[in-house]
Structure 1
Amino acid sequence: MTTPTRKILHADCDCFYAAVEMRDRPELADVPLAVGGSAEKRGVIATCNYPARAYGVRSAMPTAKALRLCPDLMVLPPDFERYRVVSRQIQAIFHDLTALVEPLSLDEAYLDVSTVTRFRGSATWMAQWLKQETYQHTGITLSVGAAPSKFLAKVASDWNKPDGLCVIEPERVDAFLQELSVKRLHGVGPATAAKLEEMAIHTCGELREWPLDILIDRFGKFGYRLYELSRGIDEREVAVTRERKSVSVETTFDRDLPDFEACSQALDPLNHKLRQRLERQGNPPLDKVFIKVRFDDFSITTQETAGQEPSSTHYRSLLEQIWYRNPRPVRLLGVGVRLTPPEGQRQLSLSLGTV
């Protein structure tokens, strides 16, 4: 008995926060619009519509820079409660198709429809139905990718945005990957892309020509992931139960940070990335903030405090407590938050400004 081919959908709302605002205020549909923090408070853009993107405005861009690129840009403060209401409506539509739904954020999810018999088992028809139902019931457009794996489904959903549909059938996977840019591989950022460029690797087809041992030598354990993805290998299951208990970001430095001041300066970009990640998840209620430090001897320590918002100031205070117990060079820094349990009543609200 052969194992049936997996059918994975990746569904992603188009510029979700801005889409909700345009739905509720149709006069904003054709004007450059963004949702984010104010320039006066050093805020950042959470998302923007396509007229704004035509000016070069992008998510995670400082609002002040966005306004320089597009002086007529309308920047609205986020209304996360309203976005959550719409998100719950969309998630209900997903669950009407399959119980195997892995939400990634308010506006994005994976669905495993491998065993769904509706629509004659056609992933293409299921994707079309999702798009139609979502727009009919919420007024929000959805881009959907269908493929045999999570990796390829995510690539496919980005292929024809906005309001797109891209299907990568199993028999097309090899040809599709042959010409796919390595920059579209999950985890390939500017630094990795530059290394691949130095090796004259631009497509997955070119990446396949390199032996696994050389890729591991050049990229460490990520070399194995590159080897797999270039061949379409991604066995990750759609994770139905994803109860997040914390959200964090961390970075390992090329050279150990020698003193407290160097560590302190590294906190601002980490805190900025953390707040962006929290914004993408709808700013969930927070319980504690924490910092993680790995020293040059690979020992790890953490420090946390309750009742605070994530800010460079608070993380600097936690770092200070760790540092003066036993100062030594630092190899890795991480900052994060612990989320309030479902029964918790206390909720800390986050602004989109940075501290």
Structure 2
Amino acid sequence: MLETQRTTMNSTRYIIHADMDAFFAAVEQKDNPALLSKPVLVGGKPESRGVVASCSYEARYYGIHSAMPMATAVRKCPDAIIMPPRFDRYSAISKDIMQILESFTPWIQPIALDEAFLDITETVSKTNTPLNIAKKIKESITQKTGLNISIGIGTTKSIAKIASGLGKPDGLVLVQEGQEAEFLKPLSVRYLPGIGPKTSLKLNSLGIETLGQLADKSIEWGTQVFGKKGPDFILMSRGIDGNEVVINEATKSISIERTFPQNVSDPNELFIQLSDICINLGMKLDQQGLKGRTVSLKLRLENFKTFTRSKTHSTVIWEPTNIYSIAITLLHKELKPGRLFRLIGVTISNFELNRQSTLFN
């Protein structure tokens, strides 16, 4: 994949992380006012081992979150309303959102249909402050789509992402230059990008609950405890993050992988994870206006043996249901007695151009 990186002579970077609030569920509530103020789940049917692709804030009150098995979500909230995904509708609105974001800066890095980083460094001036730019973005998106977006502003991508998450829903959080360490200091380590539940628990077991405590640790300690990711964790907890906003120019394949906290032997758990992966792959394909012919399933066993199984379809595909149909057929052939899996992943390749990209017009 080719990438273009921006360069600037300005001493201070200004990065925005823009993230729509409960995007799929919010679209369903907007299009059907009868769903407003009700717990809405977007995803597959519980009897078909579906997963939650998105849920409204009313549903989150019950502890429901995306990627949760739909059957589990329904048990937590029996009155929840399940809506099947309408990816064409979400993609159409995503196109509007991304066009608005692109109108503020060409330096935009989409992460998903509803999320992107923007480098607004060259857009900022004395009369056009980062806060003013963010307010204009929020106003433009709400006016065009009727939906809310949360925005975080910082001098790094990780600061901006944490800030947008803290402000949800419909938030706007600005972390000023020089205030990064103080902003991060009281936050739980789970807020740091890249630190998931397993890593968070490991840090907690070492007596590290907050990012301030993590920031006090040495780079050497980070490497010793977490390997090559350790130094990044330490530096980001101090507000130091050199990752740039990049523009993807060419994509030869799109893949998503999941490494399990514990080895998995239960086929049902594998099916749930595979379903969620295929939903997200379908969104990425539609986001970039791509269709592929080849579906590859990647598996890693408990002994770290890794192998890939592929199938090339006679026609191009991009919808999650079609990707899942091929991937699960490949998976069934590898479900042998006694096998324990550490990782599962799906890759789509052999692209041809879909319709006009839903991101850039």
Q: Which residue of 2 aligns with 1:32?
A: 39
Q: Distance in 1 between matches of 2:20 and 2:197?
A: 26
Contact 1:216 1:223 in 2 (8 A): yes
Aligned partner of 2:346 among 305, 314, 336: 336
State the 1:161 CA deviation.
0.8
Q: Larger % of strand: which?
A: 2
Query: Pairwise mapping of residues 168-317 of structure 1 onto structure 2 (< 5 A)?
Result: 168-241=175-248, 243-244=250-251, 245-251=253-259, 267-268=270-271, 270-278=273-281, 281=284, 285-292=291-298, 301-307=307-313, 309-310=323-324, 311-317=327-333
Aligned to 1:104: 111
Aligned length, in residue pairs: 332
Task: Compare 269-278 and 228-237 and name the one that shifted more.
Answer: 269-278
Distance in 1, matches of 2:229 and 2:200, equals 13
Extract unaligned runs of 5+ from structure 1. Answer: 324-328, 346-355
Per the TM alignment, residue 117 of structure 1 is displaced from its structure 2 partner at its CA by 4.3
**2:291–2:352 CA contact under 8 A, matched in 1:** no
Aligned in 2, Cα 1:264/1:44: closer, same or farther, shift over 3 Å?
A: closer
Distance in 2 (alpha carbons) for counterparts of 1:88 and 1:161: 22
Distance 1:209 1:83 in 2: 43
The answer on 1:42 being equivalent to 2:42 is: no
- Bigger drift between 267-276 and 17-26 goes to 267-276
- DSSP-derived class of the 1:5 partner: coil
Secondary structure in structure 2 of the residue aligned to 1:220 = helix
Post-superposition offset of 1:208: 2.1
CA shift, 1:263, in A, is 10
Which structure is larger by alpha-carbon Rg, 1 or 2?
1
Counterpart-to-counterpart distance in 1, 2:24 and 2:273: 24
TM-score w.r.t. the length of structure 1 is 0.83
Q: Is the 8 A contact 1:8 1:110 kept in 2?
A: yes
Match of residue 151, structure 2, among 144, 155, 173:
144
Match of 1:4 among 7, 11, 28: 11
Question: Given residue 222 of structure 1, which amino acid in structure 2 is its aligned partner?
Answer: K
How far, CA to CA, are the matches of 2:236 and 2:184 in structure 1? 9
Please state how far the C-alpha of 1:275 moved relative to its aligned partner. Answer: 2.6
Q: 1:46: Cα distance to partner? A: 1.0
Task: Give the CA deviation at 1:335.
Answer: 2.4
Amino acid aligned to 1:248: I
TM-superposed deviation, 1:200: 0.9
Q: Which runs of 5+ in 2 are unaligned?
A: 1-7, 314-321, 356-361
Whole-Å separation in 2 of the counterparts to 1:119 and 1:63? 49
What per-residue deviation string (whole Å, max 9, x for no partner) do you get for residues 251-302 of structure 1?
38888x9xxxx69898546524523532553766442222345689988653
Partner of 1:350: none
Q: CA RMSD in A?
A: 3.0
List per-residue Cα deviations over 1:8-48 (Å, max 9, x = no partner).
00001111111111111122112221211112212111111
Say if 1:25 and 1:92 are closer, same or farther in 2 by CA, change over 3 A: same
In 2 relative to 1, CA 7–291 (structure 1 residues): closer, same or farther, beyond 3 Å? same
Q: Give the structure, 1 or 2, with the largest relative contact order (CA under 8 Å, sep 6 or more).
A: 2
Amino acid in the other structure paired with 1:88: K
Identity %: 33
How has the CA–CA distance of structure 1 residues 119 and 130 changed in structure 2, closer, same or farther, with 3 Å as cutoff?
farther
* 1:198 aligned partner, one-letter code: S
Aligned partners of 2:261 and 2:16: how far apart in 1? 36
- 2:30 alignment partner, SS class: helix
- Counterpart in the other structure of 1:73: 80
How far the C-alpha of 1:94 sits from its partner, in A, is: 0.4
Q: CA deviation at 1:180?
A: 2.1
Residues 73-105 of structure 1 show CA distances to partners (whole Å, capped at 9, x for unaligned) of 111111110111100001110011111111111
